[in-house]
Structure 1
Amino acid sequence: MVAAIRVHEHGGPEVLKYEEIELPPPGSGEIRVRQTAIGVNYIDTYFRTGLYKPPALPFIAGNEAAGEVTALGEGVSGFKVGDRVAYVVALGCYAAERNVPAAMALKLPEGVSDEVAAAAMLKGLTAEYLLHRTYKVKRGDTVLVHAAAGGVGLILGQWAKHLGATVIGTAGTEEKAELARRNGCDHVILYRKEGFAKRVAEITNGEKCHVVYDGVGKTTFEGSLDSLRPLGVLASFGNASGSVAQFDLGILGPKGSLFVTRPTLFTFIQKRAWLEEMASNLFGAISSGAVSIAINRRAKLKDAADIHRALEGRETTGAIVLTP
């Protein structure tokens, strides 16, 4: 029997149930992993509430983790028992052990710990595709990062600054603003006290931003558009405040012939070669010190519901890791 967090019905954090489950041997093309660290992400709340639909109920929550290979399924090559691996997959990670498609697993380099990998796979690969593929940030660009003290936000700020951009962040408190400043942000806007679009215009002397990275969604969408210069790009990659409502595509013209995209990580990692390239870039940035993964909260797997309450209450910063 294996400990896991399962969801039998959609709802609040209380629907996260700590249970014992049967785990079959790894199937064809799978590896079995004894989990040592499990990453927590805002997307986990989307599946829990039903905003994102799981394949079926009940399901095991969680989308990223790291651990040690303990068994190989038929046809698996390139891995051996004892390998340290990390992966990002859709669901199943809130568990002490699990079977993982080998095609989604990556061996960890010596300089990256299990805990850092578990905290970095989903958030770090998200930052990688946003900065290098959705809009390729270059020296001299001005970027706006919403929720700059969050897990993805802290990585985006550091990495964008390393790439030579001027980084503007938004945060809800002065404490979070200071954290964002220490992680790459040249300017931080306290969005509860001032309109961020107006401040962006002031900071940039009316030039505004080349790209806005918006994981907040509903409450920031219009302001994000108003923070872009002509031909700017809005990458709306999350819905922390709710989904963006339908809008008139025609408004993008008079606002400066803007581009809007709603990218998802799983599109960018659907091919093994793409996944390996992105992971190599991410692990290289971590190993070189260009990106530091801030793990600011740790908890036991059984306490996942409390962690979800803190996450949705905007009480957390940086990454959160669960251990079995």
Structure 2
Amino acid sequence: MAAEIPKTMSGVVIEKPGGVDVLKYKTDLPVPEIKEGELLVKNEYIGVNFIDTYFRTGLYPSSSGYPLITGKEASGTVVSSKHPRFSPGDRVAYLGDAAYAEYTSVSASRCIGPLPERISSETAAAALLQGLTALTLVREAAGIEQKLGISEGPWTLVHAAAGGTGSLLVQILSVMGAKVIATAGGQEKCEQAHHHGAQWTIDNKSKDVVERVKEITNGRGVDVIFDGVGKATFDADLDMVARKGTVISFGNASGKVEPLDILRLGAKNIKVMRPVLFGYIVTPEEWERWTTELFELIKTEKVKIKVHEVYPLQEVARAHTDLEGRKTTGKLLLKL
């Protein structure tokens, strides 16, 4: 017998863009109603991502305006379903909107489940958005295929390699046989990046990253740079990238990249990309392909998910502060 669904719920509302003080925890929000093809999920773990901070600050405008409930991923249990594939009681993970809440209405087309017993709800919530981002950046944006043997693939560089997406990029690139250089802030984070498979690490607090990359590659530069930092690292990327190389700018942790004079790319025939995960999972076939590959990597332990900390939903401001302050390694989760 299905549990009775309440009329109100707890959640975090942003009434206007701003700092962490605009994240307001409330207990009297209306529980969403679902339409055909949707599920109502009672959330258990909610992923915290830099994109959440972009919506909080207004860097990314909200298409629905304010007040806004942000959050792009979670895991939990289906309590109501209007899709034949899912039933109440199914344990699922999803990508969607308004995840910073007790209940979320979710499109069945962006839901994975029922989750296998060997994958916990915590792991599923921690893996989905950043895992799919890392996987599609490597396989789709960079076009890197798995090589036979070790370290026979292209030269690659991952910035912020101890963070949630960065650590997954390092692991997936290692699985694909790429030569991986990782940058991170401090010796401890560099050691973590090395543990995840980076053959070379650079402490960006104490070393000149550009010069060290040129030393490591004998002046050649790297074929693909994965940059989730943005403004602070982009100019160096254009210096470090090899002839005919690719700079993949996918995040704005230090602020968005300034407008680019396209003539700067001509000296080395550089390609610059600004891909977004959601452009790679538009069709059901794309969603199935990439989620299947991601969870297979996790099930076979070729990729391991590290959770930095689990915060109560009421402490969402502390989670955002820690994330933006570079105080974390791995994934941050909220728990109801």
- Please say if 1:265 is aligned against 2:277: yes
What do the CA deviations read for 1:177-197 (whole angstroms, capped 9, x no partner)? 111111111111111222212
What do the CA deviations read for 1:84-119 (whole angstroms, capped 9, x no partner)? 111112x30111111111111111233321111101
Quick one: distance in 1 between partners of 2:269 and 2:224? Answer: 13
Return 189-198 or 304-313, whichever deviates more: 189-198
Return 186-195 or 140-149, whichever deviates more: 186-195
Instruction: Give the alignment's TM-score, normalised by structure 2.
Output: 0.93
Aligned residues: 320
One of 62, 67, 83 as aligned partner of 2:90: 83
- Please say if 1:309 is aligned against 2:321: yes
Q: Which amino acid aligns with 1:64?
A: E
Return 231-240 or 79-88, whichever deviates more: 79-88
Q: Which has the higher contact order (CA 8 A, sep 6+)?
A: 1
Give structure 2 stretches of 5+ with no counterpart. Answer: 1-7
The Cα of 1:163 is off from its aligned counterpart by: 1.0
1:85 aligned counterpart, secondary structure: strand
Instruction: Give the alignment's TM-score, normalised by structure 1.
Output: 0.96
Q: Which amino acid aligns with 2:322?
A: A
1:60 aligned counterpart, secondary structure: coil
- Please say if 1:37 is aligned against 2:45: yes
2:79 aligned counterpart, secondary structure: strand
Quick one: distance in 1 between partners of 2:244 and 2:84? Answer: 46
Matches within 5 A, 1:70-149: 70-73=79-82, 76-89=83-96, 91-107=97-113, 108-138=115-145, 139=147, 140=152, 141-149=154-162
Quick one: distance in 2 between partners of 1:272 and 1:32? Answer: 20
Q: Percent identity?
A: 42
One of 174, 189, 193 as aligned partner of 1:161: 174
One of 214, 220, 237 as aligned partner of 1:207: 220
The Cα of 1:296 is off from its aligned counterpart by: 1.4
Corresponding residue for residue 298 of structure 2 = 286
Give structure 1 stretches of 5+ with no counterpart. Answer: none
Quick one: distance in 1 between partners of 2:302 and 2:93? Answer: 20
Corresponding residue for residue 264 of structure 2 = 251
Quick one: distance in 2 between partners of 1:295 and 1:24? Answer: 29
Quick one: distance in 1 between partners of 2:93 and 2:162? Answer: 24
Q: Which amino acid aligns with 2:292?
A: S
2:296 aligned counterpart, secondary structure: helix
Corresponding residue for residue 300 of structure 1 = 312
Quick one: distance in 1 between partners of 2:299 and 2:37? Answer: 30
Q: Which amino acid aligns with 1:125?
A: L
Corresponding residue for residue 219 of structure 1 = 232
